[in-house]
Amino acid sequence: MSLSLLTAEFHVERDEIRCIACQVCVRQCANDVHVYDPDDDRVYSDETRCVGCHRCATLCPTRALTIRCTPQEFRANANWSPSIITSVFKQAETGGVLLTGMGCDQPYPIYFDHILLNAAQVTNPSIDPLREPMELRTFIGRKPEQVGVVQDRDNMRLETRLAPQLVLETPILFSAMSYGSISYNACLSLARAAKECGILYNTGEGGLHPTLYEYGPYTIAQVASGRFGVHRAYLETAAALEIKIGQGAKPGIGGHLPGEKVSEDVSRTRMIPQGTDALSPAPHHDIYSIEDLRQLIYALKEATNYTKPVGVKVAAVHHIAPIASGIARAGADYIAIDGLRGGTGAAPTVIRNNVGIPIEMAIAAVDERLRQEGIRNQVSLIAAGSIRSSADVVKAIALGADAVYIGTAALVAMGCHLCQKCYTGKCNWGIATQDPYLTKRLNPNIGARRLVNLLRAWSLEIKEMLGGMGINAIESLRGNRDHLRGVGLNEVELRVLGIKAAGES
Amino acid sequence: MRDGRWEIDANGMHYRALNARLREAVENGAECIVLRNVCGQRYIGANLHRPVEIHIYGTPGNDLAAFMDGPRIIVYGNAQDACGNTMNGGEVVIHGRAGDVTGYSIRGGKIFVRDDVGYRVGIHIKEYQEQRPFIVIGGTAQHFLGEYMAGGVLVVLGLTLRPGECHTATYIGTGMHGGVIYLRGKVADYQLGREVASVPLEDGDWALLRQLVQEFAAHFNRDAEEILAAPFTKLVPLSSRPYGRLYAY
Ligand code: SF4
Ligand code: SF4
């Protein structure tokens, strides 16, 4: 074998005075970085294998470990960055497509960070959410053109028959993450948290584990091209169905769960033999047009007797506005749009880093287009693709979303350190792995608790921001771009976002 | 309705109304339902899951028997696209042709088509535990037959081909990583996807084929022995992990 030109990405610093050679790090690192030498009674490290996940440093009882980016530096070159050079090395050595996990980490502009929120001063009052009612409840689904009510005696009754709706107690859902790409304990944490918070989680294209059927009312079940685990009970148990066309991390690329991750349990949930590759190619070969999409939407509606919403998830790509218009007209009850920075368990690096558009632009363009066409009421919009904070939620909704999906943020709440190595199946935090030794590190009670805490905190913050603007219902924020101002954006960006620059009235 | 036998005249009916009637009949314990004057209505039999027999006269629309689990559907005419979409169990017998992506992702049950089928038939079909799907096509198929096939059995008999005429499908079994395809007659190597290989039939194959061909012959009043007298080609995937070496870790 020829010499590898790759050097370590991280530097493991062990404070020898603090280290008591207890070997916690040895047991915790699934990448076998730490090795105990009984002769010396010392722990050594092979840092070439370190992925920078901080598991060892977090668990070290004497805090003897510090993980740093390698001090090894290439000659400065603004064009040939170290990551580009090492990518070439890796491909020259393997001849393979480079894989990565999580969302795009490249320094494209993050428009959320160039948008500022408004607050009421003097001319209209702000609202104190701690003492006054504040409504975050959100309904996902098709809304009627008009609502008829009939008054009989003292009772008002809705005359219009509403299309099926999902009720969210806060405008946030957990985005699609399949059992297979994440561990059972991670799925269970999400399901429990969704139930406790009155929101929904999403099965991804991995089917539904038998023990999670009890969370059906809090479950969105995905139907992707490979149809893994899609059968009657699955369709009937979920609160909503979602046709997966694409995802932000890899628009135009399908799902591929490698055979080694198809454990016995995963195989049962996906309804495929153990150890086989689960291929979910990007094209659905029964969908080549909006009419074909309509056919699948209505197949699912027929199969569930029009009792639940059927949504469509797409990646944010250049022509997202007309695409979304087509999806709305095809009869979808909601459209989930996943932006450039959306996460994934595995994607070719080149795709993740180069394909798609940011969610801020996509959601603004779609909301605007649907309004122009007079069909915005026919469909709900869920924005996805790196919603990192409650401020991002508020900005996404003001740009036109009804609600947001969070994936990466939910994983981070459960302990993910964004090492981007999900595709290796060796997640030291027990999330993106099926190895029983690793999965037991995530206690589903604690995972659920941390997720519930995150949602509680974000919901309180959203109320504070709404109150500050003088708004008492999230409904009134949707598409309310007058509450947004841009900083550091050029005219075209402001136009696409549909917002004014800071200082403009 | 008489003795669990229902008749529904589908003439001019929207699919939604027709399927609602069908569901109503099934829920009321119908054992045999006859649909007359069917003309393009979609989703007939979608998600039905009781052992009921449905006779369809006319041309059912796309997604016939989608997600179905148990019923038996007999079509006296042609079926359109995506017949048997994600079907879990049951049987569909078509006295005519069927369109593209017939049997998309079926996981169980049987589909018999008397004549030819369209493109990408048997795509994503898979087997799971005791569930094993079977598709038997009397005629010939278009390109990408058995694409991404992950399990199950696909049989193409070529009975509509004239003497000396061959199957013309190409990219057969592209992305295939499970299951088996039997084609009556020969196919050239260029017609096969990169992920499949042609291997000789063994005794077990003939036993399975005989059983399926006999069923086919019984449905369509053909002579099973005559069909079985011709040579067959057996196609299997080269690997259950066709894309295992594509990536750098
Ligand atoms: S991979 Fe994680 S656990 Fe292992 S040495 Fe690096 S930071 Fe520590
Ligand atoms: S889920 Fe695990 S493997 Fe993936 S980025 Fe987070 S910590 Fe790393």
Looking at residue B163, which CATH number applies to its domain?
A: 2.160.20.60
Q: Which residues of chain A have pLDDT under 50?
A: 1
| pLDDT at residue B249 tops 70 | no
The string of pLDDT tens digits covering residues A417-440 is 999 999 999 999 999 999 999 999
Domain of residue B110: give its range.
97-243
> What are the E-state strand segments in B30-165?
32-39, 53-59, 69-76, 89-94, 110-113, 134-137, 150-156
- With contacts defined as CB-CB under 8 Å, which chain A residues touch B104? 227, 285-286
Q: Please report the pLDDT score of residue B244 as a whole number.
A: 66
Clarify whether residues B118 and B74 are in a common domain. no
Of A225, A277, A298, the CB nearest to B43: A298
- Kindly report the CATH number that applies to the domain delimited by A138-142+169-501: 3.20.20.70
A22-27: long-range contacts (C-beta < 8 A, 24 or more apart)?
A: A22/A61, A22/A62, A24/A56, A24/A59, A24/A60, A24/A61, A25/A56, A25/A59, A25/A60, A25/A65
CA dihedral B126→B127→B132→B133, nearest 10 degrees, is: -10
User: Ligand 2 centre and the CA of A346: distance in Å?
Assistant: 11
Of the three residues B19, B50, B78, the one that is the final residue of a domain is: B78
Half-sphere exposure of A188 (CA within 13 A, CB side): 14
B50: in domain: yes
Give the length of chain A: 505
What would be the CATH architecture of the domain defined by A10-100?
Answer: 2-Layer Sandwich (3.30)
Average pLDDT of every residue of chain B: 94
Q: Which residues have CB under 8 Å from A93's CB, separation 6+?
A: A2, A4, A5, A6, B248
Q: Is A236 helix (H, G, I), strand (E, B) or coil?
A: helix
B11: in domain: yes
Handedness of CA A251, A254, A255, A256 (dihedral sign): negative
Say how many C-beta atoms besides its own lie within 10 A of residue A364's C-beta: 27
The Cα of A4 is separated from the nearest Cα of chain B by a number of Å equal to 14
Query: A–B: how many Cβ contacts below 8 A?
Result: 124
The string of pLDDT tens digits covering residues B62-109 is 999 999 999 999 999 999 999 999 999 999 999 999 999 999 999 999
| pLDDT at residue B175 tops 70 | yes
- State the span(s) of chain A assigned CATH 3.20.20.70: 138-142+169-501
Interface test with chain A among B24, B64, B67, B80, by most A beta carbons within 10 Å: B67
Clarify whether residues B123 and B37 are in a common domain. no
Clarify whether residues B126 and B175 are in a common domain. yes
- With contacts defined as CB-CB under 8 Å, which chain A residues touch B16? 302
Of A226, A258, A295, the CB nearest to B124: A226
Match 């074998």 to its residue by tokens: A1
Strand-strand pairing, A240-244 and A310-315: parallel
The string of pLDDT tens digits covering residues A242-273 is 999 999 999 988 877 777 788 888 888 988 88
User: Ligand 2 centre and the CA of A177: distance in Å?
Assistant: 13
Ligand lying closest to the C-alpha of residue A65: 1
Strand-strand pairing, A347-348 and A155-158: unpaired
Q: Please report the pLDDT score of residue B1 as a whole number.
A: 62
Strand-strand pairing, B196-199 and A42-45: unpaired
Closest by CA position to B109, among listed B66, B57, B55: B66
Residues forming beta bridges with residue A484, ordered by sequence position? A117
Closest by CA position to B45, among listed B62, B115, B76: B62
Angle between helices A359-372 and A390-398 (to 10 degrees): 30
Q: Please report the pLDDT score of residue A283 as a whole number.
A: 82
Q: Which residue puts its alpha carbon closest to atom 1 of ligand 1?
A: A50
Total domains in chain B come to 2
Q: Is A132 helix (H, G, I), strand (E, B) or coil?
A: coil
The string of pLDDT tens digits covering residues B97-122 is 999 999 999 999 999 999 999 999 99
